[in-house]
Chains A and B, each alone.
Chain A
């Protein structure tokens, strides 16, 4: 007899706008407070205190334009945010400051979230969609120098890049980028050489979100249709379709794999969060709390596994936080 799905552990209210992006920062040692960063459509970034469940600070740096990506850079004192005002802002939040230290003008008018990868102490690579329709630019942060621009070949008709993921097999190896495009294909790019290694058509509709497990060389992508596509990377660096999973309702906004690679969560247009086992994509739970499209899901980075949380942000302006499968 299966148990009914759990209720959220708590719900954060107070953004007064649809929530588009979430990022946890709970890995710090005690007495650091676990934090959750959220970006909303009204341009504010809220810093939530997960002990008091209240907003500690609200950051306003994108001129009231929707913020659709937040990431921390090595700890909760440095924050990166991307907004619809075509800017990526770098924040310094140490010691109670709330200032923008730097910003990159991307000239990108779409919704493609940037992707960060730490390559060395204090050095990051960031992949972002550039001004030109099909291009992805890789910048080095914090120097903001351009590493390369990844251009699909002429006539490829990939459309806009929709989602990006930079990764490297181990520290020091070549950084690689996985990019999902508007035409439904996922392309693997070699960043140093600036050329495409492999392309796979995963969906008939634009790829909305993707995530990749570098240990198992397996990735998953979701689209606006009813299918989740799982693909793998073989030794020759070629992408192959591994399997597909049919969903009950169409539309996925976000997919994320938990850091321990055991489960993954999808944010659906049908207001539901779905949990799957990553190994075989076994459906595990359907969390039905929100009353509008769920825009983003994020797993926390707690060092204590028992405390791990899953957060989901939705158009109904709430952030639901769940504790699910934390015991394993």
Chain B
């Protein structure tokens, strides 16, 4: 396609029509693949070509405008190019404006970051279009700060909106920020609250990053909002969006900007301090010559062989430990520290003595607070609790599960109870090794591979990953294939771990309402039950557990929190993996059918991607297990 330049009036509306028709038929790629580079070159310096291009897009009929604009935005190599190609189309054409400011930002979320950069950069490049930029930012913030959006929209959409907000912020100039400072502040406060409320760590991080960015923009002097979160690829990418590279190139500026700034700042400090401590190297003393008599030679040293490092001895008896831990004498902090460090191994070496005082010890440990600053206090306490629980499972499990539903515990303590139950269950269901003391490397409870099963490793991996992610522990040992057989210790106590947890979930207490505000704990409880179910394979109680779990899942299946729903779906997986299929089909036929239809629903309609995937896997698992059952000759 070539045009006759200069001096001639030509109507290019028919070209627009062709363009539009082609685009609407889905051939944007081909035609714009040719058009856009050509137009980019032509419009680089030539105003006439620019006007021609603008006229071209303006003349596209409304019904095809969306496809054309979408195509251009996606294909343009940069915001400035887009600006040259489209001109002020968004100001002149209502449809184009709708597509750019509403549809692409709020209604769709599949576009790449580069496209977002193009779009928002385009809006920022012309003073007339900047009003749209501000409006867009306001609408994005409204969505970002609405609690229902945070709860119900998929994580990918929320990520998209967050990116868009950050890019908008990076384009805003001082006077514009001034004018909307108050609104920014209010939406930031509202948005942070809903994001931090969420049970999914990704959403919480998103909220934190965006809030920090907004705070940075509106408070140029004075303290800014700073959250503590783990830096990850996602957060780094988001933060890099805030920095605009001057060439407006699409590639997001590397996070090296941040790091090199910090390195630069660190250098002057190092120089300062080294100036002050003049020579750090020791000045060689003059008296190095051996010939010179040393008056110190008159002084004969005494025997100092007894001079060793001071070690505070930990108590050797369990009851002494209890005394030290409950003692209120402030001077004994050294002893207290030593006791905390030594407690786990003492408990494991003296099972009989521990059994006498197990519930008391469990109580003390549950309420134990950090008196001094020991490294790894939380882990030490947890290991001690697990040791106590595995040494005397039934009474301690009874105690812990009853405390889970009692008044006046913090959420942290309740979740600690769940963690300890899971870790102890893992240990109990794991076979001991002959000859080696089980706890010399007590760090590695292995997840035993289930024998046989044709179902693809995916399910097992999923559950393993769930367990891994939930226990936040050190690494799992390699799964050993050859295991010495011995009685399953978890068999006799599985019920004590499981049923009390399930019993009271629907009874709210004054300070603890699982079905209400404390949905984070509910989520953790559901995941715990899934793991306990999984570990109960080959125990006698497994069928009863399965039935109870199925009812539990049924009652909660419509819960609004996606973390809880993910937990419920992993409960189903565990159930399918642990309870023998014959028993499921025999005892739970109706429930199974209902569950199947529910899973189908979730797979199609659930807003959360993880839930949908889990539901699909569960359905496939069910199918496979049934087929396997039928294949076995009866």
- A residues near B (Cβ < 8 Å) are 2-6, 185, 198-201, 232, 238-244, 248-249, 262-263, 270-272, 277-280, 282-286, 288, 325, 328
Contact = CB atoms under 8 A, between A and B. Distances in A.
A201 B302 contact: no
Contacts of A243: 282, 285
Nearest to B305: A2
B303 A2 contact: yes
Contacts of A240: 278-279, 283
B306 interface: yes
Contacts of A248: 307-309
B296 A279 contact: yes
B450 interface: no
A244 B310 CA distance: 21
Contact of B301 (A238, A271, A272, A283): A283
A325 B295 CA distance: 13
Given A238-B278, A240-B283, A282 B307 contact: no
A258 to B, nearest CB: 11
A13 B298 CA distance: 33
Interface string B272-297: 01001111101101010000001110
> Chain A interface mostly helix, strand, loop or mixed?
strand
B10 interface: no
Most buried by A among B273, B282, B307, B308: B307
B310 A270 contact: yes
B307 A201 contact: no
Contacts of B282: 241-244
11 contacts: A3-B300, A4-B302, A5-B302, A201-B276, A249-B310, A262-B296, A282-B296, A286-B306, A286-B307, A325-B299, A328-B298
Contacts of A271: 310
Interface string B328-355: 0000000000000000000000000000
Question: Which 3 A-B pairs give the minimum distances between C-beta atoms?
Answer: A2-B303, A277-B296, A285-B302
B290 to A, nearest CB: 12
B304 interface: yes
A156 to B, nearest CB: 9
Nearest to B296: A277
Contacts of B299: 262-263, 277, 282, 284, 325, 328
A290 to B, nearest CB: 12
A3 B277 contact: no
A277 B295 CA distance: 9
Given A201-B273, A238-B278, A279-B294, A284 B283 contact: no
B147 to A, nearest CB: 44
A200 B278 contact: yes
Contacts of B304: 2, 5, 283, 285-286
A241 B283 CA distance: 7
Given A200-B278, A272-B307, 9 more contacts: A4-B303, A238-B278, A241-B279, A262-B295, A279-B296, A280-B294, A282-B296, A283-B304, A286-B306
A280 B287 contact: yes
A263 B299 CA distance: 9
A137 to B, nearest CB: 24
A199 B303 contact: no
Nearest to A292: B331
A243 B273 CA distance: 19
Contacts of A272: 307
A263 B304 CA distance: 16
A5 B283 CA distance: 33
Contact of B303 (A3, A262, A263): A3
A226 to B, nearest CB: 10
A308 to B, nearest CB: 14
B463 to A, nearest CB: 47
Contacts of B279: 240-241
Contacts of A328: 298-299
A248 B287 CA distance: 26
A238 B279 CA distance: 10
A280 B298 CA distance: 13
A161 B168 CA distance: 51
A238 B298 CA distance: 32
A241 B294 contact: no
Contacts of B308: 248
Most buried by A among B277, B283, B285, B309: B277
Contact of A285 (B283, B301, B309, B310): B301
